[in-house]
Structure 1
């Protein structure tokens, strides 16, 4: 693990624990034991640092997806990710962080969503093609639209008044969202495999 990765891991934890708004660049410098001058040489402001954190966390999710995708499994099992790092990321105090991003740094959040859509869509489009070849997914739905439906569901945990008082863990919420997506696109054969795959989780 290189120095930049270690730095972003530590700083991510600081922001997730305290929120996007409350943490200052002074706090960051103290947390990782570097001078403010050194910090500002790497990141000219807090907005740039927040962007780097979001890119870093998104890449970790993409790496997890790629690792899972490389396994010799069917299309449905490739989507049902239950990885320790992914769970750890999902179960942090991320809701406060995301809600503060939405309120105080909306342009950063919007760009993050566009990046997420681009990177995850690439995987999901290939997954849909594989699922159709295996007879697990329906042929009569709009891939691009359904992928955006899934991302919208995932983001609704922090971005909807309907879930402000949700009691379940974020990781469980996301997993249920993935199940909702898979059931909506699966054939009868696919649903049988989905039921079996759920038991393995």
Structure 2
């Protein structure tokens, strides 16, 4: 969908409010007030709140894909690439209120599943490609089945985000993802890769 400058501003502001406060707690009046526009003007940009939620999630997915592509292009090797992605997602999850994820699943289940599925598909492709890259570079174990490990990694990530195993009040999502990334690295690197990983983490640890 081609968006106007006004629509993009709306999506960015709504996304910020949804992630910080929760989706249900933010009304269209609140969004119009934050943007300094009338409610009539707001409804000229989007038909309803459901469409806006969909556009926010779609925008987030496109942004994440662009970031992962940039990390692939700029990284020195597979470990560097994966660390960049891990740091990015950990920091992003620190911005997300548990209420936002709860509201999305409860009140917009079709949007949740369609957008999460789209994100999951691309995420799986990137993880599998990273595993193949790491093996080719001699940093990851050579007995890895990239498809199997990518499925396990993405599946565990979805389980964490779903919050079924780790209730939101017990520990921050960002900390769980940090542990998850560390667990993944320890399972895939060989000794050469471990030395490289330690070198990178001494320069900049996971946040």
Structure 2 residue ranges without an equivalent (≥5): none
Q: Determine if contact 1:25/1:36 at 8 Å carries over to the other structure.
A: yes
Alignment partners' CA distance in 2, 1:84 and 1:176? 12
The farther-off stretch of 53-62 and 78-87 is 78-87
Summarize the alignment of residues 70-149 of structure 1 with structure 2, pairs less than 5 Å apart.
70-81=73-84, 88-149=91-152
**Partner residue, 1:190:** 193
The 3-state SS of whatever aligns with 2:113 is helix
User: How far 1:108 sits from its partner (Å)?
Assistant: 1.0
User: How far 1:3 sits from its partner (Å)?
Assistant: 4.0
User: How far 1:139 sits from its partner (Å)?
Assistant: 4.0
TM-score, normalization by structure 1? 0.83
The 3-state SS of whatever aligns with 1:152 is helix
User: How far 1:128 sits from its partner (Å)?
Assistant: 1.8
Alignment partners' CA distance in 2, 1:157 and 1:166? 13
**Partner residue, 1:179:** 182
Q: Cα RMSD between the aligned structures?
A: 2.5
Which residue, 170, 175, 197 being the options, matches 1:166? 170
Which residue, 67, 79, 83 being the options, matches 1:64? 67
Deviations 1:121-141 (A, max 9, x none): 332232222111112223434
Deviations 1:140-199 (A, max 9, x none): 3443343233233334444234321333x4333322222222222223322232232222
Alignment partners' CA distance in 1, 2:17 and 2:72? 31
TM-score, normalization by structure 2? 0.81
Structure 1 residue ranges without an equivalent (≥5): none
